[in-house]
Amino acid sequence: MESLTGRPLHPFLRRGIFFSHRDLQEILQLYESGTPFYLYTGRGPSSDALHLGHMIPFLFTQYLQEAFQVPCVIQLTDDEKFLFSKDNSKKLEDYQRLGWENAKDILAVGFDCERTFIFRDTDYIGTMYPNILKIQKAVTYNQAKAIFGFDDSDNIGKHGFPAVQAAPSFSSSFPQLFGSQTNLPCLIPCAIDQDPYFRMTRDVAPKLGYRKPALIHSKFFPALQGENTKMSASMAHTAIYVSDTAKQLKTKVNKYAFSGGGATIEEHQKHGGNCDIDVSYKYLSFFLEDDEQLERIRQEYSSGKMLTGEIKAKLIQVLQPLLERHQQRRSQVTDEMIRKVMTPRQLSF
Ligand code: TRP
C-alpha cells in the first residue's frame, strides 16, 4: 500500500488494529494494473453521537479514500436498528433522524464530498431492491439461521435484513454513481463483528455473477471499563463520545478508565503497570500517532516509572485536541451538505 499510494502506512495498519483481511492483495493488484475499486462501510444509527469506537472504521476508510483517491459509499442502516432494537419506545422516524445526525459526524471525519455517497436505507432501498431480491433468493432460511442465530420468534424483518447489508457490496446497486461500471471491485473496511454479513455476501456473489467484495477488519475498541466489557450507547460512562466536552473527557478518563497499574504507588513502582489490560495505554495505541513516544510510554509504564495518573494525563492530552477538532469540523457541516452528499450522483474516480 505504501508503494502504490506513496504515503506512509496508517498507524492502524502499522499497529495491527486493522488486523485481518479477505482478498486485499487482489484489490491492490487490480488497482496497480489500472482497475480502481470503491470503498463501502456503514453504521447502524443507534445513538445521537458517535463514540471513539464507532470512529475507527470511518477514520480508516477516509484515509484509504484519500490515499487511493477512490469513491466511497456509506450505508446508514436505520432499518436495521429499527428492526433489531428491543426498545419499542423508539419509532422508525427516530432512527431516520439519528441517521441524519450521524451523517454529520461521518462527514466531519473529512470524506471527499465529490467521491462520497452517504445513504439511509429507508431513502435508498428502491435502487438496491433488484440486488436485494437476488441475494435473498440465493440464501436459505437455514443458512441465515446458522450465520446470524435467528430463531422462530424473531420478527420477519430481521431475517430479510442481511441481504440489505450485502447489496452495497455490488456496484450495480449504484447505477447513478457508477453508471456502466456494474462490476467494480469493492473493499469493505469494518469491525470484525460485521464479518458474518460479508461471508454470506462472498458466498452468494459468484451465484449472481458478481465479484466477491474484499474486506479489511479492525479489532474491537475496548470500553473504558476494560477489554471484556462492552461500550453501550445507553451508558454514557462506558465510552468517550466525540461530542464530550474537555471536562467530560477528563472526568471519564480519570474516573472510569480501567487501570493496569499497581494498587499503591509503592507496588506500582516495584512491579510496574500492565499495558495489556490498561485502557489508557490501549487508547493511546489507537490515537497517539508517534511510534517512538508510544514505545517510551510503554516502557516507562511497564517498568513502574510512569504512574497511572501520568498515563491518564497523557491520554487526555492526546484526545482533547482530537475531540476539539472534530467538534469544530462537525459544527461546520450543514443540513444542505448532508442533502448533497445523500443525493445519488456520479462520483469521481
Ligand atoms: N451493521 C452495521 C452496524 O450495526 C452497519 C453497517 C451496514 C456496516 N453496512 C456496513 C458496517 C458495512 C460496516 C460495513 O453498525
C-alpha of residue 205 to centroid of ligand 1, in Å: 18
Scanning the structure block, which residue is given the C-alpha cell 437455514? 142
Q: Along the 349 residues of the chain, how does pLDDT read in single tens digits?
A: 999 999 999 999 999 999 999 999 999 999 999 999 999 999 999 999 899 999 999 999 999 999 999 999 999 999 999 999 998 899 999 999 999 999 999 999 999 999 999 999 999 999 999 999 999 999 999 999 999 999 999 999 999 999 999 999 999 999 999 988 889 999 999 999 999 999 999 999 999 999 999 999 999 999 999 987 777 766 778 999 999 999 999 999 999 999 999 999 999 999 999 999 999 999 999 999 999 999 999 999 999 999 999 999 999 999 999 999 999 999 999 999 999 999 999 998 8
Q: Whose CA is nearest to atom 6 of ligand 1?
A: 42
68, 207: one domain: yes
| Ligand 1 atom closest to 190 (CA) | 13
CATH number of the domain within which 269 lies: 1.10.240.10
State how far the alpha carbon of 29 is from the alpha carbons of 34, 37, 210, 218, in Å.
Answer: 9, 11, 18, 22
Domain boundary among 171, 193, 224: 224
Q: What is the pLDDT of residue 233?
A: 66
Residue 314 CB less than 6 A away from ligand 1: no
51, 181: one domain: yes
- Check residue 223 and report its DSSP letter: B
CATH number of the domain within which 195 lies: 3.40.50.620
Q: What is the pLDDT of residue 28?
A: 98
* Distance (Å, whole) CA 40 – CA 70: 11
Give me the number of domains the chain comprises: 2
Q: What is the pLDDT of residue 234?
A: 67
Q: What is the pLDDT of residue 255?
A: 96
State how far Cα 338 lies from the chain centre.
19
Helix (H, G, I), strand (E, B) or coil at 150: coil
Q: What is the pLDDT of residue 236?
A: 79
Q: What is the pLDDT of residue 329?
A: 98
294, 162: one domain: no
Scanning the structure block, which residue is given the C-alpha cell 435473498? 136
Q: Per residue in 56-73, is it b (16+ CB within 10 Å) or e — as a string? A: bbbbbbbbbbebbebbbb
251, 220: one domain: no
Q: What is the pLDDT of residue 213?
A: 98
220, 254: one domain: no
C-alpha of residue 43 to centroid of ligand 1, in Å: 5
154, 297: one domain: no
Q: Which domain holds residue 163?
A: 1-224
Q: Does 180 fall in a domain?
A: yes
Residue 190 CB less than 6 A away from ligand 1: yes
Q: Does 172 fall in a domain?
A: yes
* Residue in 75, 201, 231, 232 to alter for ligand 1 test, most ligand atoms within 8 A of Cβ: 75
Q: Does 21 fall in a domain?
A: yes
Q: What is the pLDDT of residue 341?
A: 98
If 0-12 CB within 10 Å is exposed, 13-18 middle and 19+ buried, where does residue 345 land? exposed
Q: Does 230 fall in a domain?
A: no
Residue 43 CB less than 6 A away from ligand 1: yes
Q: Does 236 fall in a domain?
A: no
φ, ψ at 248 (rounded to 5°): -60, -40
